[in-house]
A = this chain, B = another copy of it.
Amino acid sequence: MAEDLIPEDNLLIADSGEVEVRPDDRVDDERHDEENRLKPSFISAVHDALEAGDKGAVYDLVEPLHAADVADLIELLERSERTQLAAAISDLMTSDVIAELNDYVREDLMEALPAQAVATIAEQLDTDDAVQLIEDLDEADQRAIIAELEPETRAAVSSALSYPEETAGRLMSRDFVAVPEHMTVGDLIDFLREEGDLEHDFFEVFIIDERHHPVGTCALNWILTTPRGVRLTDLMKRDQTLIPVTMDQEEVALMFQKYALISAAVVDESGRLVGQMTVDDVVHIISEEAGEDALLMSGAGDGDINEPIREAYTARVRWLVANLGTAVVASSIIALFGAAIEQLVALAVLMPIVASIGGNAGTQTMAVAVRAIATNQLTRANTRRILWREFRVALLNGGTIAALIGLAAGVLFTPMMGVVIALAMIINIAVAGLAGVLVPVIFERLDQDPAVASSVFVTMITDSMGFFAFLGLAVAAGLAPL
């Protein structure tokens, strides 16, 4: 409806004259690079001003920034500088800035502030942001801050905190518009002009029955394009996607994606409307959930560069120790063939190749399977088909690699060595293909996050199988004694 929605009589055709592009005024300025990141030069300017203790200069530098950029700036500064900056620009530390901050950085900043100050900040935040601000702090701090809150905010925050972390109850906004069934478009508009405020965004109006259950929803653009007289119940969409207050945030995110939602009603156990979730709150969850698999598969835990070193260490060393265990299993298989290696050092030279490529092939398949499981594309309904698919891909890959390494080894060592390593390679890549699908699928059926532990097992399987198949075949082929 583009053009025709611009009243012809009011529309002048643009003269294609000299008009320089002014896209987002936050892009291509002296503070941002072409990818809309703050320039290092700008960061160091702030850094220098802080060093010089020139609060005025700091303020002038930061003042023009969008809240999201102020948050980025704080994250980019040294830990020690962050509190200095916060002090220098205290009145620029708006709720938007706080909401945009990285969790670790926010927690860090808040712990530096007295409860009273945190409470004052929490007051100006939407409930969901206030909760986010408080939930990471330890019990004592939480209680101290909540005590400082206005009764109304305190009630909202406490009720939010009463839901488990990462559920809709924590994330939902308690600011929404709900009206009774008898209202007309006109009633609603008059009512909104009366009662509404510009502060809280909403994208749909929920129509509720006398039991406070949502019966339907009206997108705002429907209301604006409909005559005053029409009853909301005649306009509304009855088939809504309702979010149970206890639903996990990952499922909420998948719901928003699957049904392309902008906002959705959150209902409690008895079906009453208790809040709404809007897509802008869900977007960062979607990106987190989608991005975390790469980190989990690598065993990097949260993998946030702002995570305290001690936490990063404990998160990662666990998996390295686990990997140490699996590596020992693999090398114990090598030990079985000590005599063979002693006789034919070439085996020791070649065996890591078989193991390494197998590991790689396994990781490829595993990454695909984990992603497909996370996006609900790989379910019980098609597991067998996907397994067969990945097996065929593995045979193609295995054949190709086997041919290459087989020829090379056949020439550089002996023809039989070429045959042995080629066979071992095909076997290991085929096994890798199967393990890459089965391991994550099995973890998923055991209600474990497939991204978390799969790679340790897949690597153990491909390493062990690589050494065993290669050294075993070498002995069987009479290249070396057992």
Contact = CB atoms under 8 A, between A and B. Distances in A.
A446 interface: no
A78 interface: yes
Interface string A76-87: 101000000000
Contact of A300 (B25, B76, B330, B367): B367
B14 A393 contact: no
B21 A270 contact: yes
B4 A195 contact: yes
Nearest to A283: B257
Interface of A is mostly: helix
Given A320-B360, A377-B75, A280 B279 contact: yes
Given A1-B196, A371-B291, A283 B254 contact: no
A260 interface: yes
Contact of A355 (B182, B189, B224, B352): B352
Given A309-B393, A364-B319, A327 B356 contact: yes
Contacts of A6: 178-180, 208
A331 B303 contact: no
A350 to B, nearest CB: 6
A295 to B, nearest CB: 5
Contacts of A345: 338, 341-342, 348
B324 A353 contact: yes
A68 interface: yes
A396 B309 contact: yes
Interface stretch (A34-42, A52-60, A141-149): A34-42
A193 B410 CA distance: 79
B298 A363 contact: yes
A169 interface: no
A327 B354 CA distance: 9
A66 B239 CA distance: 10
Contacts of A95: none
A353 B328 contact: yes
A201 B225 contact: no
Interface in A265-282: 267, 269-272, 275, 279-280, 282
Interface in A154-210: 174-180, 182, 188-189, 191-193, 195-203, 208, 210
Contacts of A360: 298-299, 319-320, 323, 459
Nearest to A189: B224
Contacts of A203: 203, 220-221, 262
Interface stretch (A106-114, A115-123, A382-390): A382-390
Interface in A307-346: 309, 312-313, 316-317, 319-321, 323-324, 327-328, 330-332, 334-335, 338, 341-342, 345
Which of A25, A43, A327, A350 lies at the interface centre, i.e. has the most chain B CB atoms within 10 A of its CB?
A327
Contacts of A297: 294, 298, 367
A317 B180 contact: no
A1 B290 contact: no
Given A35-B251, A72-B376, A193-B225, A5 B257 contact: no
B357 A271 contact: no
Contacts of A137: none
Contact of A193 (B226, B342, B355): B226
Contact of A317 (B331, B351, B400): B400
Contacts of A223: 224
A128 interface: no
Given A1-B177, A5-B196, A319-B360, A259 B68 contact: yes
A242 interface: yes
Nearest to A6: B178
A287 B290 contact: yes
Q: Name the 7 nearest CB pairs between A and B, nearest first.
A: A196-B225, A294-B294, A290-B290, A298-B367, A220-B220, A348-B348, A290-B291
Given A5-B177, A260-B280, 5 more contacts: A5-B178, A24-B240, A196-B224, A312-B393, A356-B463
17 contacts: A12-B211, A16-B270, A25-B239, A68-B260, A78-B385, A198-B225, A201-B262, A202-B221, A203-B221, A203-B262, A261-B280, A305-B368, A313-B396, A319-B360, A323-B360, A327-B356, A352-B355
